[in-house]
A and B are shown apart, each in its own frame.
Chain A
Amino acid sequence: MFYRLSGVYHSSLISDSRMFKVPADRNLAVFLLLIGLAAPFILPSLYLNSYILPWLIWTAAALGLNLVTGWAGQLHLGYAAVMAVGAYSAIHTVRLGVPWEIALIIGGLAASVIGSLFAFAALRVKGLYLALTTLAMQFVMDWVLTHSPTISGGSHSSLQAPTLALLGQQITSDAGYYYVALGWCVLVTIFMLNLKRTGLGRALVAVREKDFAAAILGVNSFYYKILAFAASSFIAGVSGALLVATFYFLAAPEQFSVNVSIQVLAMVIVGGLGSIIGSYFGVALILLVPGLVNGLVVTASEELGMQVNVETLAHIPNAVYGALIVIILMIEPLGLGKLYGNIRDYLMTWPFDQLRK
C-alpha cells in the first residue's frame, strides 16, 4: 500500500547500499524521529520520563545484547552485570571530578574490558555452557557489588549519581533527560543499521551460522566473538550509566541483578534475534505492557464495579504478559520484528499479493 518496491531503482552501488532501500521505510524512520523530537511538547512529562525514557534506554541496551546474541549468536546471561560495570565506573569517575562526557566513555570502556575479559574465558565453551558461564559472571558481579562498599556505597545502600551535565550544560529538566536518552538510542540504532550493511555484520553472522565456513573465508571466529562482546559491552556500559543518570538517579546493586539480565534477554528474544525494530517492540512489550495491563484491570474493575483484591491485581499483569510472550513466540518464533516484517512484506505487494507464490 504505502510500501512499494516497483518503481524503486538503484542505479549506483552507493544508492543500493543505503540504510533504507525502500523510500517508505526511510520516510517512516524520519517521521518517527520527528515524533521523537517533538515528544516533550506533546506528552505530559510523567509519561515521557516514566515510560518513554526508560523504553529508549532499554532499547539501546537491548540492541547491544542483540549484537552479541542475535548477530554473533552467543548466549549472554550476564548482560546486566556489564551494565552495572559501566554505571558504577561512570558515576565514580564523575565523582572524581571528570566531566560526564568522558565519564560515559570511560564507563563504556570499563564495561568493554570486563565484558571481553569474561568472554575470553567463556569463549572456550559454546551454547548452553556459555550461557552458564556468563550467568556465573553475573553472580560474581552481584557479589562484588554488594560486598565492596567502595564501589556500591556499602551493602543495602545506594550510590547517588551526580547531576548530569553534557557539553557544559547542566541537565535537570525532564525534557533534557529525555533528549539525552533519545540521542543515545538513535546513535546505537544507527550503529546497528550500519552493522547490517558492512563487513563486520556479515562476519558476525558468518560466525553465528557456520564457524567452519567462516574460517575458510578467512574469518577468525574467536576474534570476531571477542569484538562482538567488546562492542556490545560498551553499549551496555553507556546504557547502564545513562539509566542511572537520567532515570534511577541512585545506583543500587539490585537494579543490575540476575533477573534484569534475564529480562533483557527476554526483550531481545521476544523482539526477534537480529532484528533492530524488533528490539524496540520487545522492550516495549516487556517494559510497558505490565503497567498497561495493570491500568486496564484497574479501570475495568472500577467500571464493572467489581472488587479486585490487591494480590490478584499484582498477579494479573504478570500472567497476561507471560501469556503474551508465549503466544507471540508460538505464532512467530523469530519474534515481533519478524511479525512486523511479515506485515511489511504483505503490504509491499498488496493488492497483487496473489501473484506471489
Chain B
Amino acid sequence: MTTLSNKPILECTGIERRFGGIVAVTGVDLVIQRGEIFGLVGPNGSGKTTLTNAITGFYPPNEGTVRLAGKNITGTAPHKVAKLGVARTFQNLALFNGMSVLDNILLGRHIHMHPGVFRTAFYWWAARPEEVQNRKIVEEVIEFLQLESIRYELVDGLPIGLKKRVELARALVAEPQMLILDEPMAGMNQEEKGYMSRFILDARDERGVSVLLIEHHMDVIIGICDRVLALNYGEMIASGIPKDVVKDPRVIEAYIGGSHG
C-alpha cells in the first residue's frame, strides 16, 4: 500500500442523476481507497446500479464529479472509462452467448490489444505474438477462477453460477484498478457464494484491485467488505464499518420497514 499513491482510487462527490422528473441518485459522496473492498447496499430501486452507471459513463451524472485516481472522468464514454482501468460486471450478466468461455474472457483483454484489419490479414506475423501473449494472461485467470474444464464451451449453456464466474474472469483479465461488481452473487446458493467471496478476496489480495461491491446478501457484506455505504431512494442513509451499518436503524427501516418489530 505504501508504494502506491495515496490518492483514493475512486472519489465521487455530490453525484446526482435524474431521469426526467425522477431523481434516481442525489448527493452521493463516495471515497474508495486503493485495495479496499467497498460495499454498496440498499433496497431495490435505491439507486445502486444508477450510481455505477454514472461512474462508468452509461448515464453521466447531471451533477457532481467522478475522479479515478485523481483524474476527473465525469461523463467520459464507457469504452474510454474501461481503457482507464475500470472493469465491471452486470446484474443481469452481459456475456456474449454465442461465443465460447475462452473468447469471452479474451475480449476482456481488448484494451491491452490492438486489433485491426492488417493484423488480421497478416495473422502469422502481426497478430499471433499478441494473441498468444494475451492468451497466457487469460489462462492464468482461468486457472485462478477454476474454469479450465469449460474453456471451450459456449457461454449459453452454462449454469448461472458459472456464468457469473466467467464474467468476473472477463473483468479481471483487463487488469483493472477498479472493479465494480453488480450483484455477483444474485441467485447463488451458500456454497457458490462462499466460492465467489473467496475469489473476490483473492483478487484483491493477489491482484491488488479495489472493489466496489453491490450485494444484497448481508452475510457477504459483513464478511468481506472493509466499508459500506447504504442508499435509499437515491440518498445516502449510512456509511462506515459493515457491522455498524447493518445495525443502523435507518438501514433496517429501509430494508424491512421499521426497527421496532
**Interface on A for B, CB 8 Å cutoff?**
13-14, 16-17, 191, 194-195, 197-203, 205-206, 209-210, 212-221, 227, 230-231
Residues of the A chain whose Cβ atoms lie less than 8 Å from the Cβ of B77:
215, 220
Contact yes or no, B120 A201, CB < 8 A: yes
Do A215 and B78 contact each other (CB < 8 Å), given the known contacts A203-B115, A206-B107, A209-B96?
yes
Task: Kindly state whether residue B23 has any CB partner on chain A within 8 Å.
Answer: no
Please determine whether A209 and B174 come into contact, CB atoms closer than 8 angstroms. Answer: no
Q: Please, which residues of chain B bring their CB within 8 A of the CB of A198?
A: 115, 119-120, 123, 127, 131
A22 to chain B, nearest CB (A): 12
In angstroms, Cα B114 to Cα A198, docked, is 10
A201, A213, A214, A227 interface centre (most CB from chain B within 10 Å): A213
Number of A-B residue pairs having CB atoms within 8 Å of each other in the complex: 113
What residues of B have a CB within 8 angstroms of the CB of A213 in the complex?
90, 94-96
B111 interfacial contact with A, CB 8 Å: yes
User: Could you pull out 15 A-B pairs where Cβ atoms are within 8 angstroms?
Assistant: A13-B136, A13-B139, A16-B135, A198-B131, A200-B116, A202-B106, A203-B107, A205-B99, A210-B94, A214-B107, A215-B78, A215-B79, A217-B82, A218-B83, A220-B79
A13/B94 contact (C-beta < 8 A), A194-B127, A195-B120, A197-B123 known: no
Is B15's CB within 8 Å of the partner chain A? no
Cα of A231 to Cα of B116 in the assembled complex, Å: 10
B232 within 8 A of A: no
B interface, over-half SS: helix
- Interfacial chain A residues near B106, Cβ < 8 Å: 199, 202
Q: Report A-chain residues with C-beta under 8 Å of the C-beta of B80.
A: 218
Complex contacts, B34 vs chain A, CB 8 Å = none
Instruction: Tell me if A202 and B99 are in contact (CB < 8 A).
Output: yes
Task: Tell me, yes or no, whether B97 is within 8 Å of chain A by CB.
Answer: yes
* B131: contacting residue among A199, A218, A231, CB under 8 A: A199
The answer to whether A202 and B127 have CB atoms under 8 Å apart is no
A200, B119: Cβ atoms under 8 Å? yes
The residue on B at minimum CB distance from A234 is B117
Instruction: Assess the A200–B115 pair: CB atoms within 8 A.
Output: yes
In the complex, whether B217 has a CB less than 8 A from a CB of chain A is no
Residues of A contacting B58 in the complex (Cβ-Cβ under 8 angstroms): 212, 215
**Hey, which chain B residues are within 8 Å of A200, CB to CB?**
115-117, 119-120
Chain A residues contacting B117 (CB-CB under 8 Å) are: 200, 227, 230-231
The count of residues in chain B whose C-beta lies closer than 8 Å to any C-beta of chain A is: 44
Instruction: Collect the chain B residues with CB atoms within 8 Å of residue A219's CB.
Output: 79, 107, 110
Say how far B171's CB is from chain A's closest CB, in angstroms.
9
Q: Are A14 and B83 in contact (CB under 8 A)?
A: no
Query: Is B170 part of the binding interface, using a Cβ–Cβ cutoff of 8 Å?
Result: yes
- Residues of B near A230 (CB, < 8 A) are 117
Q: Which of B49-105 contact A (CB under 8 A)?
A: 56, 58, 77-83, 87-88, 90, 94-99, 103
Give the residue name and chain of the B residue nearest to A187 (CB): B121
Asked if B113 is at the interface (CB within 8 A of a chain A CB), the reply is yes
Q: Give the contacting residue for A217; candidates B99, B107, B128, B139; CB below 8 A.
A: B107
State A200–B117 Cα separation when bound (angstroms).
Answer: 7
User: How far in angstroms is the closest Cβ of chain B from A155?
Assistant: 37
Q: How far is the CA of A158 from the CA of B17 in the complex (A)?
A: 61
| Contact, CB under 8 Å: A197 / B107 | no
Given contacts A17-B131, A199-B113, A199-B131, contact A216 B120 (CB under 8 A): no
CB of B94 within 8 A of CB of A199, answer: no
Tell whether, in the assembled complex, residue A218 and residue B135 are in contact, meaning their CB atoms are under 8 Å apart: no
**What's the least CB distance linking A122 to chain B, in Å?**
20
Q: Say yes or no: is B22 at the interface (Cβ < 8 Å to chain A).
A: no
Q: How far is the CA of A216 from the CA of B108 in the complex (A)?
A: 9
